[in-house]
Amino acid sequence: MLPYETVEQILQYSFKDRQILQEALTHRSYLNESTHSDASYERLEFLGDSLLNFFVALELYSSHPNLQEGELSTLRAKLVSREACSFYCSQINLICYIRIAKGELASIERSKEGIMADLYESILGAIFMDGGMEEAKSFFRRTATHHFEHLQKSSKKDFKALLQDYTLRTQKKLPSYETLFEEGPEHQKSFLVAVFVDTQEAGRGRGSTKKQAEQAAAMEAVLYHGWQDEQTKARL
């Protein structure tokens, strides 16, 4: 049984039709195992993707009156990217409520970033369908807009260097990286990398190169675990 009230508390929104919330949290693989669900989150994700693009465009248009169309488009691309949506989702910890087939549980780890991005967009779409434009916009502002400045800056930062600097100063340890998964043809590779600190996994990241995946893993470790002292924050 889906813990509706718990999820609604996290979202700070109460659904009038909880069937929509259930759909928003249902991976398509779950439909093969359940006789009680006949829809996955894919249609809501499609809707949420369009809403997110609109809300981000509106926010950037209002907050950056001096930027030209090309600059606004570049910023929007960063703020609606898979990495950004995954980050928004990670901050409210929705992934643990996803309904997914038991045989697909391993795919959560291999494709965690993509699944979290899909989940954020599907929830945004679900709130719009249940409560309308203003409720969807409020959810977007609660969960995304206050991360904009940070995400715009973080795309230019060397998080591997930041993580190494922090762990050396605070723990006298060097982080290490391990490639967990590699897929795709030679010209379109995808890598999943984990970063470890003192033998403990601290973060995971995906990228089209090992270097990109390591940067993504280091970013998750620094931001998710709050590994930022004053010296590290000064460089973010």
Catalytic residues: 49, 121
DSSP alpha helix (H) spans, the chain:
4-11, 18-24, 42-63, 69-79, 82-92, 105-110, 112-131, 133-143, 148-154, 159-171, 210-224, 230-233
In this structure, are residues 79 and 151 in contact, taking their beta carbons and an 8 Å threshold? yes
Rg (the chain; Cα; Å):
19
Report the distance separating Cα 76 and Cα 72, nearest Å.
6
Quick check: helix, strand or coil at residue 194?
strand
Location of structure tokens 């904009």:
148
Residues 6+ apart with CB under 8 A from 8: 14, 15, 21
